[in-house]
Amino acid sequence: MSRTDLIPGNLRWDMIVKKSGVDTLSSRGQDTSNSTEVATLRASLEALRSSEVERVNQQVARATHRIRCWFVPGITERHWGEIDGRKYNFGQVKDPDSRKRELEIIAVLEST
């Protein structure tokens, strides 16, 4: 990740990070899972380029996007993010330079 990725002008999206609670289905078969909001972060969002998809898919099946944001402890693959009303399931969350400054999240856009 280059230093310019986390310049405030590049962090254009508000991402609400949530953690799923107990998953249940209503009598109509609709998902009524409770989710807890963990944080709201400014983030950059980019679709993976075709040259990256094959390499990334070896680690995260069906990966579609890369999300970058400032480091927040405790965010893991058990969380998911909501950006502009779309749900992104976190497939891989890593601190690329191990300095606890930035997070790089490989995510799968959930189809609606």
> What pLDDT, on a 0 to 100 scale, did the predictor assign at position 105?
96
Contact 65, 107 (CB under 8 A): yes
Q: How confident is the model at residue 25 (pLDDT cuts 50, 70, 90)?
A: low
Q: Is pLDDT above 60 for 112?
A: yes
Rounded (to 5) percent helix, strand, coil in the chain: 15, 45, 40
Q: H helices within 4-112, ranges in order?
A: 50-57
SS3 annotation, 62-92: CCCEEEEEECCCCCCCCEEEEECCEEEEEEE
> What pLDDT, on a 0 to 100 scale, did the predictor assign at position 31?
56
- Comparison of pLDDT for 101 and 62, the residue scoring more: 101
What CATH number is given for 3-109 in this structure? 2.40.10.270
Average pLDDT over residues 31-57: 82
Q: Where are the domains of the chain?
A: 3-109
Count other Cβ atoms within 10 Å, centred on residue 53.
Answer: 14
